[in-house]
């Protein structure tokens, strides 16, 4: 518990109603979508950049950590205060400051909800391309910090490909502006460095994003398979035809049944896997590609290929996909989701491997992938009250991740390193690589008070995987 | 520690091999930067040797400029010093190539033309048409963030590089990113290196995402009598469902230059060129829509022959090199602007040039806000600084920046080629010190003297 003087100083900046410090109020802020760690000492809700500057300065005087938080939907523990201190909640900085359609951009505060930005420009035929599954809740600031992805990043790229400029408050309270209203400002691309830096280099207080024009035509296909391997083979076969779908998702039969029971999206209950394939663009191109994709699916033994006949049908299919994690929550007390990435041609092999891990550890693993870009989301189901089972989950997760790395992949495609994968970093980066990242971190965050315990393992660490079991039993 | 030239040359030769250190005046002169000629050129054949050379140079305070063909050596302020050219010519391997995954990993010395040829067998390409064209090297393209008109359809190096290996001045090789198309592990140092003009480290390997080649590509042209009409057309193309691969506005002089001649043009109108790609049906659809947009402004739609179009786009990529041959003191200004400001900037720039009676040509990527404005002069005339400063001010007032991409060295002492840095310069300065504490990499050439 910090001194009341500390809280009073914070309240002086944002008003009494802008600070939380009672333990019962702080409970909500002790976790994100991954895990519960510990409570922060205070949560502060600034309305302006200037208030952020003042808060950062007070935290510095009291030597307190500062952790930025959007909606808390993160999946790697990025926004939890592992060492206590001040959580900067951005729920009051949610203004869309400027929409400029001719220049295809918008300037927003970090607390703006991802989908709200799209809704604001939708009638004019534009949207914000990155679409994480949590887009109804997650914030642009959080997307920038984590460099979030989503199903449609396959063709449009992740958050970093859509951010033009940032306003950043550095740990010493200095405010800088990186990037520009256009792409080619001379100098180092600090915008590109800050995107995905998980709140460890500075606090983002304003974001200029690129808006995209909505495509003329969209076609959504659902290919249904009796063998999972046929679905995975189809993925590379589509690419080999020179077609890049806007989205290419895979769900296995187990996950599908859970999703169908929860959302009644119209998925078949008796298949081994489905691919959800979306094509976007000019009407003519989409029609041609849809026919070709359907042919590829059938060549790869799809039992049936359905096409969404209306926008409602399409929305329903996507609702099923985007609510999949929630659906799993209905059938298993706990689940652990990873987001390793592999080259997409290795999917069949990976699926087989995950099947063998299921058997080896006696666990149920649901598979739901951004298959087009090789981004896996194996969902390992367990009951946290069973400590022996929880330990097996860790072992299984470790083997899957190790295999991703062996295949030339990555430990995270879109969820971020956060706290969760901090000890996996040595699997893909050498000491020299990590040392360079530390050097860069220390340029901005020398004291380490900005989001401590995230992204970079501290000091020397062996390549051993250590995923810690938290107090709540969640990983 | 300062060493006599002969002794460091001998020691460097022992690091890379006798035959890989060249002191012939011709080889050195070919890689001169703003009249400064290096003492020697080294050609390390491996990434490790690049790192060893950097380490040696840092220890002995030798200034280095990394390069390949020198297609972008004219960009930058004059180097504060320049001892040694680090040629990446022999780093020319393809390490991994997975056509089915659409990924490739190559060394920086590979020329874009060779690269495209290599992946073209599988009907793939890297959709970049940077400055220097097919002669541009992979490393140079990344270091200079070089994207040409294809940026309209595909973005730039920033959207295509998946991972890098970088040799640093402490003799190490650090990795950032990876070989998969989606990856958020660790800080994104790829972005830092892209466009850093060799001032942070030397790229020794680059992983790219590849793209399927469109079945066909066709370039359509529309004549536009005034900038106001050009603006109207740009707006209607960008808000239409068409996905242009390239979209440029060329003034009448530029149109002639794309044919590789400098003959005067009897046509006074500018043209908008739109390249589209896809199946025949898709192209027919584009033709119909563009025809309609053209009729809206009272201009018929033209279509370039395939060969003619290819040659013209090549000329646009090779612009500065080619223009330099004809106009020895050519100045190429590159404005980066909010999209909506392109035509207004052009109008300012054209007025300035006309006021000084300097012939000019403009190549504007109007869909992405990049304008190349070339002052075609055979020898330097007085009053140019004023003209450039006023043109720069116009760009800045419109929310953009102006880079003097190519100009005679005499002018550089009087004008900063990059323009004034912003409030993030201090952070950039720190970044430079973290990577290159001794300041041996491309000293003084980059933004704010970095």
Model confidence pLDDT, tens digit, residues B149-207: 999 999 999 999 999 999 999 999 999 999 999 999 999 999 999 999 999 999 999 99
Least Cα separation, residue A225 to chain B (angstroms): 22
Mark whether A152 and A275 lie in a shared domain.
no
Q: Taking the domain B319-412, which CATH number applies? A: 3.30.70.2740
Query: Has residue A411 been placed in a domain?
Result: no
Residue B372 pLDDT > 90: yes
Looking at chain B, which residue has its C-alpha nearest residue A146?
Answer: B184
**Contact between chains at A408 and B423 (C-beta distance less than 8 A):** no
Residues of chain A with Cβ-Cβ distance to B279 below 8 Å are 284-285, 288
Mark whether A268 and A381 lie in a shared domain.
yes
Query: Has residue A62 been placed in a domain?
Result: yes
What's the pLDDT at A469? 35
CB B330 within 8 A of CB B374: yes
Query: Has residue A426 been placed in a domain?
Result: no
Distance CA B344, CA B200 (A): 36
**Contact between chains at B185 and A429 (C-beta distance less than 8 A):** yes
Residues of chain A with Cβ-Cβ distance to B238 below 8 Å are 104, 213
A52: containing domain: 1-214+432-475
Distances, alpha carbon A236 to alpha carbons A245, A378, B62, B159, B350, in Å: 12, 19, 49, 21, 50
Pick the CATH number of B216-317 from 1.10.10.350, 3.20.20.70, 3.30.460.80, 3.30.70.3450: 3.30.70.3450
Mark whether A225 and A206 lie in a shared domain.
no
**Contact between chains at A240 and B100 (C-beta distance less than 8 A):** yes
What's the pLDDT at B383? 83
Q: Which of A245, A212, A281 lies closest to B239 in space, CA to CA?
A: A212
Is residue A374 less than 8 Å (CB to CB) from chain B? yes
Start-to-end Cα distance in chain B: 22
**Contact between chains at B340 and A103 (C-beta distance less than 8 A):** yes
Distance CA A398, CA A409 (A): 14
Residue B233 pLDDT > 60: yes
Q: A residues 240-279 near B, CB within 8 Å? A: 240, 242-244
Of the residues A361, A388, A406, the one at which a domain ends: A406
- Residue B436 in tokens: 């290159």
Q: How confident is the model at residue B70 (pLDDT cuts 50, 70, 90)?
A: confident
What's the pLDDT at B2? 56
Residue-range domain boundaries for chain B:
5-89, 94-212, 216-317, 319-412
Q: Scan for tokens 């979508």, then name that residue.
A: A33
Mark whether A237 and A199 lie in a shared domain.
no
Q: Scan for tokens 């660490």, then name that residue.
A: A461
Residues of chain A with Cβ-Cβ distance to B215 below 8 Å are 242
Mark whether A252 and A321 lie in a shared domain.
yes
Is residue B437 less than 8 Å (CB to CB) from chain A? no
Query: Has residue A427 been placed in a domain?
Result: no
Mark whether A139 and A229 lie in a shared domain.
no
Mark whether A92 and A202 lie in a shared domain.
yes
State the fold for domain B5-89: 3.30.43
**Contact between chains at B103 and A343 (C-beta distance less than 8 A):** yes
Residues of chain A with Cβ-Cβ distance to B233 below 8 Å are none
Q: B residues 92-111 near A, CB within 8 Å? A: 96, 98-103
Query: Has residue A272 been placed in a domain?
Result: yes
Q: Taking the domain B94-212, which CATH number applies? A: 3.30.465.10
**Contact between chains at B195 and A186 (C-beta distance less than 8 A):** yes
Mean pLDDT of B102-126: 97
Looking at chain B, which residue has its C-alpha nearest residue A342?
Answer: B180
Q: What is the CATH classification number for the domain harbouring A178? A: 3.30.465.10
Is residue A197 less than 8 Å (CB to CB) from chain B? yes
**Contact between chains at B428 and A191 (C-beta distance less than 8 A):** no
**Contact between chains at B212 and A103 (C-beta distance less than 8 A):** no
Is residue B418 less than 8 Å (CB to CB) from chain A? yes
Helix/strand/coil (H/E/C) assignment for every residue in chain B: CCCCHHHHHHHHHHHHCHHHEECCHHHHHHCCECCECCCEEECCCCHHHHHHHHHHHHHCCCCEEEECCCCCCCCCCCCCCCCEEEECCCCCCEEEEEHHHCEEEECCCCEHHHHHHHHHCCCEECCCCCCCHHHCEHHHHHHCCCCCCCHHHHCCHHHCEEEEEEECCCCCEEEEECCCCCCCCCCCHHHHHCCCCCCCCEEEEEEEECEECCCEEEEEEEEECCHHHHHHHHHHHHCCCCCCCEEEEECHHHHHHCCCCCCCCCCCCEEEEEEEEECHHHHHHHHHHHHHHHHHCCCCEEECCHHHHHHHHHHHHCHHHHHHHHCCCCEEEEEECCHHHHHHHHHHHHHHHHHCCCCEEEEEECCCCEEEEEECCCCCCCCHHHHHHHHHHHHHHCCCEEEEEECCHHHHCCCCCCCCCCCCHHHHHHHHHHHCCCCCECCCCCHHHC
CA angle B145, B394, B341 (to 5 degrees): 65
Q: Scan for tokens 């969820």, then name that residue.
A: A415
Among A76, A187, A420, the strongest candidate for a mutation testing the B interface, having the largest count of B CBs within 10 A, is: A187
Q: A residues 416-445 near B, CB within 8 Å? A: 416-417, 421, 425, 428-430, 432-434, 436-437, 439-441, 443-444
Count Cβ atoms within 10 A of the Cβ of residue A298 and give its class: 0-12 exposed, 13-18 middle, 19 or more buried. middle
**Contact between chains at B369 and A182 (C-beta distance less than 8 A):** yes
Looking at chain B, which residue has its C-alpha nearest residue A283?
Answer: B282
Is residue A178 less than 8 Å (CB to CB) from chain B? yes
- The structural domain count of chain A equals 2
Mark whether A44 and A132 lie in a shared domain.
yes
What's the pLDDT at B265? 63
Query: Has residue A425 been placed in a domain?
Result: no
Residues of chain A with Cβ-Cβ distance to B281 below 8 Å are 284, 288
Query: Has residue A310 been placed in a domain?
Result: yes
Residue A93: left if φ>0, alpha if ψ -120 to 50, beta else—which one?
beta
Mark whether A307 and A207 lie in a shared domain.
no
Helices A311-322 and A324-331, axial angle in degrees (round to 10):
50
What's the pLDDT at B266? 72
Residues in chain A where the model's pLDDT stays below 70: 1-2, 459-475
Q: Which of B102, B306, B134 lies closest to B213 in space, CA to CA?
A: B102
Distance CA A441, CA A450 (A): 10
Is residue B237 less than 8 Å (CB to CB) from chain A? no
Residue A435 is classified by DSSP as H
3-state SS assignment for residue A382: strand
Given 3-state DSSP classes, what are the helix, strand and coil percentages for chain A, each rounded to the nearest 5?
40, 20, 40
Query: Has residue A416 been placed in a domain?
Result: no
CB B309 within 8 A of CB B219: yes
Asked whether the ipTM of the predicted complex exceeds the cut of 0.90, the reply is yes
Q: What is the CATH classification number for the domain harbouring A355? A: 3.40.462.10
Residue B27 pLDDT > 90: yes
**Contact between chains at A433 and B281 (C-beta distance less than 8 A):** no
CB B333 within 8 A of CB B404: yes
**Contact between chains at A440 and B187 (C-beta distance less than 8 A):** yes
Mark whether A382 and A236 lie in a shared domain.
yes
Helix (H) or strand (E) holding A113: none
Whole-number mean pLDDT of chain B?
Answer: 94
Q: A residues 306-335 near B, CB within 8 Å? A: none
**Contact between chains at B421 and A176 (C-beta distance less than 8 A):** no
Mark whether A310 and A162 lie in a shared domain.
no
Check for a shared fold between B94-212 and B319-412.
Answer: no
């Amino acid at each position: 518990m910090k001194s009341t003087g500390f809280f009073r100083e914070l309240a002086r900046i944002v008003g009494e109603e802008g600070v939380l410090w009672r333990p019962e109020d702080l409970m909500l802020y002790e976790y994100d979508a991954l895990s519960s760690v510990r409570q922060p000492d205070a949560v502060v809700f600034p309305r302006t950049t200037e208030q952020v500057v003042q808060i950062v300065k007070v935290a510095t005087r009291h030597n307190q950590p500062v952790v930025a938080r959007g909606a808390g939907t993160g999946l790697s523990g990025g926004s939890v205060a592992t060492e206590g201190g001040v959580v900067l909640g951005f729920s009051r900085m949610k203004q869309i400051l400027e929409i400029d359609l001719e220049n295809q951009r918008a300037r927003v505060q970090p607390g703006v909800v991802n989908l709200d930005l799209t809704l604001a420009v939708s009638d004019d035929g534009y949207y914000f391309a990155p679409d994480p599954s949590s887009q109804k809740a997650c914030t642009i600031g959080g997307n920038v910090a984590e460099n979030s992805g989503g199903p449609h990043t396959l063709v449009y790229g992740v958050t970093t490909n859509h951010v033009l400029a940032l306003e950043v408050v550095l740990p010493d309270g200095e405010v800088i502006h990186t990037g520009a209203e256009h792409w080619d400002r001379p100098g180092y691309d600090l915008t590109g460095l800050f995107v995905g830096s998980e709140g460890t280099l500075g606090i983002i207080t304003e974001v200029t994003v690129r808006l995209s024009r909505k495509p003329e035509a969209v076609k959504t296909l659902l290919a249904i398979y009796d063998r999972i391997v046929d679905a995975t083979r189809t993925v590379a076969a589509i690419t080999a035809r020179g077609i890049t779908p806007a989205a290419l998702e895979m769900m296995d039969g187990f996950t599908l049944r859970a999703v169908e029971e929860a959302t009644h999206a119209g998925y078949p209950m008796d298949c081994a896997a489905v691919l959800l394939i979306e094509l976007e663009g000019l009407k003519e191109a989409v029609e041609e590609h849809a026919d070709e994709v359907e042919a590829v699916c059938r060549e790869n033994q799809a039992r049936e290929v359905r096409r969404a006949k209306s926008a409602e049908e399409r929305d329903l299919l996507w609702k099923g996909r985007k609510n999949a994690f929630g659906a799993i929550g209905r059938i298993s007390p706990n689940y652990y989701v990873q987001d390793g990435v592999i080259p997409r041609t290795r999917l069949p092999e990976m699926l087989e491997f995950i099947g063998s891990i299921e058997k080896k550890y006696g666990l149920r693993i649901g598979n739901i992938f951004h298959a087009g870009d090789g981004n896996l989301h194996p969902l390992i189901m367990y009951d946290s009250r069973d400590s022996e089972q929880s330990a097996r989950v860790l072992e299984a997760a470790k083997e899957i991740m190790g295999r991703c790395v062996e295949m030339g992949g990555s430990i995270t495609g879109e969820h971020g390193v956060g706290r969760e994968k901090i000890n996996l970093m040595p699997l893909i980066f050498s000491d020299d690589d990590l040392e360079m990242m530390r050097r860069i971190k220390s340029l901005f965050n020398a004291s380490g008070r900005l989001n401590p315990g995230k992204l970079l393992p501290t000091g020397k660490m062996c390549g051993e995987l250590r995923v810690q079991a938290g107090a709540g039993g969640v990983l | 520690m300062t060493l006599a030239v002969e002794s460091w040359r001998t020691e460097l030769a022992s690091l890379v091999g006798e035959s890989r250190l060249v002191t012939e005046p011709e080889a050195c002169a070919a890689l001169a930067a703003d009249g400064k000629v290096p003492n020697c050129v080294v050609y390390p054949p491996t990434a490790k040797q690049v790192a060893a050379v950097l380490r040696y140079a840092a220890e002995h305070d030798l200034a280095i400029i990394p390069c390949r063909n020198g297609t972008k050596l004219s960009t930058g302020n004059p180097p504060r010093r320049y001892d040694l050219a680090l040629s990446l010519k022999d780093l020319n391997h393809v390490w991994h190539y997975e056509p089915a995954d659409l990924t490739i990993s190559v060394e920086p010395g590979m020329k874009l033309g060779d690269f495209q040829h290599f992946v073209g067998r599988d009907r793939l390409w890297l959709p970049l048409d940077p400055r220097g064209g097919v002669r541009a090297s992979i490393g140079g393209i990344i270091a200079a963030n070089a994207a040409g008109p294809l940026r309209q359809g595909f973005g730039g190096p920033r959207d295509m590089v998946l991972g890098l290996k970088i040799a640093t001045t402490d003799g190490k090789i650090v990795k950032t990113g990876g070989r998969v198309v989606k990856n958020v592990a660790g800080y994104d140092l790829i972005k830092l290196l892209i466009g850093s003009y060799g001032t942070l480290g030397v790229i020794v390997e680059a992983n790219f995402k590849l793209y399927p080649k469109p079945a066909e590509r066709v370039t359509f042209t529309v004549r536009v009598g005034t900038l106001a009409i050009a603006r109207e057309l740009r707006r209607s193309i960008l808000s239409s469902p068409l996905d242009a691969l390239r979209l440029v506005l060329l003034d009448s002089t530029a149109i002639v230059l794309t044919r590789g001649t400098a003959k005067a043009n009897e046509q006074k109108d500018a043209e908008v060129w739109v390249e589209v790609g896809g199946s025949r049906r898709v192209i027919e659809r584009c033709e119909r829509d563009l025809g309609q947009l053209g009729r809206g402004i009272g201009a018929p739609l033209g279509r370039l022959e395939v060969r003619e179009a290819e040659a013209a786009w090549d000329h646009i990529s090779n612009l500065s090199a080619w223009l330099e041959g004809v106009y020895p003191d050519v100045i190429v200004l590159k404005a980066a602007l909010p999209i909506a400001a392109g035509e207004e900037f052009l109008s300012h720039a054209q007025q300035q040039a006309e006021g000084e009676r300097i012939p000019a040509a403009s190549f504007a990527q109007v869909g992405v806000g990049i304008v190349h404005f070339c002052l075609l002069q055979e020898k330097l005339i007085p009053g140019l600084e004023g003209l450039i400063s006023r043109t720069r001010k116009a760009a800045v007032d419109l929310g953009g920046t102006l880079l003097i991409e190519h100009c005679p060295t005499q002018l550089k002492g009087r004008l900063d080629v990059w323009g004034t840095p912003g409030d993030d310069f201090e952070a950039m300065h720190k970044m430079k010190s973290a990577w290159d504490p001794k300041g041996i990499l491309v000293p003084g050439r980059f933004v704010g003297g970095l």
